[in-house]
């Protein structure tokens, strides 16, 4: 375990993993693998979708902050339009995060409390920035080469290269966070190679915890 990471004292017997990494590094793939291994998994990005949905706790504040032009005809927030705004303006991104993160944090705590598996994983891109990485037993960070991130964003989200690079550049650098990590997953090869890394890290969890 990394001495520099001051962990919370939990006392409920559950083993908590915080999973993070920058955009398009493959965090969601690792999360699915941990689900397959038997963990209860919590995807903070999915929860963020919920909190900005109509009647969600952050919906009204986000619309008021960014204007009705981010809305579709049915009243839902067009995340692509919102993304165009915030990923080109660091202050706008910070404003959005201030509105969304507290509501997401409440949902995460609720989901953790409801978890039944002995291992629970919280995956969030801003896990370290929000301080949530201190509320667990291990911090896992997923990394990938920048060019691989660009290709994934272009293939998976339909962005052009300039848009993909803008979103990557909007992320805080991953290197300072690596000193906090208990596990670093290098997603720079095949799915089989990624799976082997995840399995190896999983098997290092004390057997009585999983």
147-157 confidence digits (pLDDT tens):
999 999 999 99
For the whole prediction, is pTM greater than 0.85? yes
Q: CA-to-CA distance for 41 and 119, rounded, in angstroms?
A: 9
Q: What is the pLDDT of residue 12?
A: 67
Give the residues of the chain that fall short of pLDDT 70: 1-12
Helix axes 27-37, 191-203, angle to 10 degrees: 50
Tokens 């990624």 belong to residue = 194
Q: Are 81 and 67 in contact (CB under 8 A)?
A: no
Residue 13 per-residue DSSP state = S
45, two tokens: 């990005």
pLDDT of the residue at 67? 97
119 — phi, psi (to 5°)? -120, 130
Could you give the CA distance from residue 33 to residue 22 in angstroms, rounded to a whole number? 18
Domains defined for the chain, CATH in brackets = 1-39+117-210 (3.40.50.300), 46-116 (3.40.50.300)
What's the confidence (pLDDT) of residue 208?
87
């Amino acid at each position: 375990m990394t001495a520099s990471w001051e962990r919370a004292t939990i006392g409920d017997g559950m083993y908590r993993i915080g999973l993070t990494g920058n955009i398009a590094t493959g965090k969601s793939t690792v999360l699915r693998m941990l689900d397959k291994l038997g963990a209860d998994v919590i995807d903070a990005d999915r929860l963020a979708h919920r909190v900005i949905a109509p009647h969600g706790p952050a919906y009204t504040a986000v619309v008021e902050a960014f204007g009705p032009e981010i809305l579709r005809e049915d009243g839902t927030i067009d995340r692509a339009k919102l993304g165009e705004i915030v990923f080109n303006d660091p202050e706008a991104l910070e404003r959005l995060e201030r509105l969304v993160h507290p509501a997401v944090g409440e949902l995460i705590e609720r989901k953790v409390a409801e978890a039944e598996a002995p291992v629970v994983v919280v995956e969030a891109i801003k896990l370290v920035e929000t301080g949530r990485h201190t509320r667990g037993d291990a911090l896992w960070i997923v990394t990938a080469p920048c060019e691989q991130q660009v290709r994934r964003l272009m293939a998976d989200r339909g962005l052009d290269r300039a848009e993909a690079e803008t979103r990557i550049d909007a992320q805080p650098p991953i290197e300072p966070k690596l000193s906090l990590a208990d596990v670093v997953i290098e997603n720079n090869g095949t799915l089989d190679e990624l799976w082997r890394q995840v399995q190896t890290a999983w098997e290092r969890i004390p057997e009585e915890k999983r």
